[in-house]
Amino acid sequence: MNDEKISRTDLSELGEFGLIDHLLKDITATNPSTIKAAGDDAAVIDHKDEETLVSVDLLVEGVHFDLTYTPLKHLGYKAAVVNFSDIVAMNGTPTQIVVGIAVSNRFSIEALDELYAGIKLACQQYHVDLVGGDTTSSKSGLMLSITAIGKAKSTDIVYRSGASEHDLLCVSGDLGAAYMGLLLLEREKAAFIANPNMQPDLQGNDYILERQLKPEARIDIIEILRKNDVKPTSMIDISDGLASEILHLCKESSVGCRIYEEKIPIDIATVQAAEAFHIIPSVAALNGGEDYELLFTIKQSDFEKIQAIDGIHIIGHITAEKDEAIMISNDGQAITLRAQGWDALRTNSA
């Protein structure tokens, strides 16, 4: 960060409460449900006749993100958006977030301003209020805990457990790009460590890099589904890879599924990157993760409605075989899906 070389304010100059006031200054609540935002012992939120949805994510430096190649503003944006995505996956609307950070003295006030600039930008883009948080010190790098709060009518909420035999399995957008962006960044990091004078070779990879560093929550998809009078029978966001999320739906719904490799949507930029890394593109889609697209099931009677919507792809169907998830490969083989994507508590996570 070049700005830090010009101006650096140590955290000790503000202290914990001064830092909180600094980071939350100039925040204006825009949601009617936000009765009281930052400045008291707790925020006050009123969703009246709607259900309140709550989700939390903990992000740890060196486990979930690498500041070698992740700009702090991008990190803040992504940290907020992935929490919004959890609310969206319940067919809800995110309305507020609470942010907790643990930070070491290697970070300056200016660095945290960058982090919060990303969080605030995400809130602005998705019409979400930042209503409070907490700060503390850390001896092991930066940690972020974001709690997202949302709303939905009880009749609109979609769970992972609602899929039934013959339902169609759908996915939004395209898959695998975020993982290929991560591999590219890791490759260039390794090259830099080997030769600090080497400039990163990222040209022509804007799409996969943006998918990794600046994902988006697909609230537009649930809005389109509502306009077309389609309510998913089950839904989940794709954070840990398509295969893992399919298995979650099957387990929670006590069903099986059959998907088709040729139906998995993969962008040409992802295909080209996968080829450069000698990876089968569908493997990146199945096991890579961090796409934050929506995986959902619909009734067969909604087939024609879904078929007419751009950006939604039918990749298979639900079967009665409990917990049996099969992919029919491009050469006609039946392959059992395994959860090989991200798992923070496994030492061999992808």
Does the pLDDT value for residue 339 go beyond 90? no
Q: How far apart are CA 220 and CA 272, in angstroms?
A: 27
Q: Are strands 129-137 and 93-103 parallel, antiparallel or unpaired?
A: parallel
Q: DSSP letter for 200, please.
A: P
Domain boundary among 82, 117, 152: 152
Domain contains 213: yes
- The sign of the torsion formed by the CA atoms of 285, 65, 133, 124 equals negative
Place of tokens 């059959």: 258
pLDDT in tens, 152-163: 998 999 999 999
Does the pLDDT value for residue 230 go beyond 80? yes
Q: How far apart are CA 107 and CA 138, in angstroms?
A: 11
Q: How far is CA 22 from CA 13, 116, 163, in A?
A: 12, 10, 46
Q: Which residues contact 18 (CB under 8 A, 6 or more apart)?
A: none
Does the pLDDT value for residue 45 go beyond 80? no
For residues 196 and 290, state if they share a domain. yes
For residues 125 and 239, state if they share a domain. no
pLDDT at 340: 74
Higher-confidence residue of 140 and 249: namely 249
For residues 222 and 137, state if they share a domain. no
For residues 17 and 65, state if they share a domain. yes
DSSP string, 223-277: HHHHHTT---SEEEE-SS-HHHHHHHHHHHHT-EEEEEGGGS---HHHHHHHHHT
Domain contains 344: no
Q: Which residues contact 273 (CB under 8 A, 6 or more apart)?
A: 177, 180, 181, 183, 184, 205, 208
Higher-confidence residue of 13 and 76: namely 76
Does the pLDDT value for residue 4 go beyond 60? no
For residues 136 and 279, state if they share a domain. no
Higher-confidence residue of 49 and 241: namely 241
For residues 106 and 178, state if they share a domain. no
pLDDT in tens, 182-205: 999 999 999 989 998 888 889 899
The CATH number of the domain where 320 resides is what?
Answer: 3.90.650.10
For residues 180 and 214, state if they share a domain. yes
- Percentage of the chain beyond pLDDT 90 is 71
pLDDT in tens, 231-267: 999 999 999 999 999 999 999 999 999 999 999 999 9
**What's the domain range around 105?**
2-152
pLDDT at 347: 45
pLDDT at 42: 46
pLDDT at 41: 46
Burial label, 68 (beta-carbon count in 10 A; 0-12, 13-18, 19+): exposed
Q: DSSP letter for 99, please.
A: E
Domain boundary among 91, 119, 152: 152
pLDDT at 15: 55
The CATH number of the domain where 38 resides is what?
Answer: 3.30.1330.10
Does the pLDDT value for residue 23 go beyond 90? no
Does the pLDDT value for residue 151 go beyond 50? yes
Q: How far apart are CA 220 and CA 330, in angstroms?
A: 31
CA torsion 69-70-71-73 (nearest 10°) is 170
For residues 180 and 141, state if they share a domain. no
Does the pLDDT value for residue 39 go beyond 90? no
Domain boundary among 152, 185, 205: 152
Does the pLDDT value for residue 62 go beyond 80? yes
- The sign of the torsion formed by the CA atoms of 300, 223, 218, 156 equals negative
Does the pLDDT value for residue 3 go beyond 80? no
Domain contains 347: no
pTM of the shown model: 0.87
- Percentage of the chain beyond pLDDT 70 is 85
**Listed range (6-20, 182-196, 201-215, 329-343) with the worst mean pLDDT:** 6-20
Q: Predicted confidence band at 1 (pLDDT cuts at 50, 70, 90)?
A: very low
